[in-house]
Chains A and B, each alone.
Chain A
Amino acid sequence: EIVLTQSPGTLSLSPGERATLSCRASQSISSRFLAWYHQKPGQAPRLLIYGASSRATGIPDRFSGSGSGTDFTLTISRLVPEDFAVYYCQQYGSSPYTFGQGTKLEIK
């Protein structure tokens, strides 16, 4: 089973700043099968990025994903208030399709 480790656990930033979230895998993820989600309190998760770098439908271009192998990054170029949430990465290259433990992005 592939273990995903996200860092940092909590990220405190202000609106307008740039956010960089990391997701590291215990083994290489085939074909960049890595997704990012965010989840706001009381809501279901929402898909942001799939295939490591492709934005899901309706996701603004301030969200971008990069990486390959074992190291992946989600970047939010300029934070807006609705971006403050918990972010999860998920690998789907090898079953079980595990999630990381999450990064909480909070307002500074």
Chain B
Amino acid sequence: EVHLVQSGAEVKKPGESLKISCKGSGYSFTTSWIGWVRQMPGKGLEWMGIIYPADSDTRYSPSFQGQVTISADKSISTVYLQWSSLKASDSGMYYCARPTSGWSFEYWGQGTLVTVSS
């Protein structure tokens, strides 16, 4: 059975760095893309980017390019989303998700809530 398990909720101050994680199991992690989706409080879904762990080929939405970094560690079947300097506007729920049929996301993590507040 496919599982995507994300790291726990985070509370940070503006300007701090953060790295959240998504661990995959139950499928071939290395040869499956994993994406990240943001949902700001009370808002819709935003496609952030996607990574292929086998070679770390990464594609970003222009809206998030340069704002976040997506990376992967094949040895522990984990994908990361990181910020070097958080802003209050980065607050939201972040989901990792695995596409199966084309790029539609069939499998989702449980979400990581990020709160950035002074």
Size category, A interface: 20 to 34
Q: Which of A86, A90, A98, A102 contacts B104 (CB 8 A)?
A: A90
A87-99 vs B, Cβ < 8 Å mask (1 yes, 0 no):
0101010011111
Is B118 located at the chain interface by the 8 A CB criterion?
no
The residue of chain A having its C-beta at the shortest distance from the C-beta of B45 within the complex is A99
Q: Is B111 an interface residue, CB under 8 A from the partner?
A: yes
Residues of B contacting A100 with CB < 8 Å?
Answer: 44
Cβ-closest chain B residue relative to A88: B45
> Which of A15-23, A46-54, A66-74, A76-84 forms contacts with chain B?
A46-54
Size of B's binding interface in residues, CB under 8 A: 26
20 pairs, A vs B, C-beta closer than 8 Å: A1-B62, A33-B103, A37-B45, A44-B95, A44-B97, A44-B110, A45-B37, A45-B108, A50-B104, A51-B101, A56-B104, A56-B106, A88-B44, A90-B45, A90-B47, A92-B102, A92-B103, A97-B47, A98-B61, A101-B44
Q: A-contacting residues of B (Cβ < 8 Å)? A: 35, 37, 44-47, 49-50, 59-63, 95, 97, 99, 101-106, 108-111
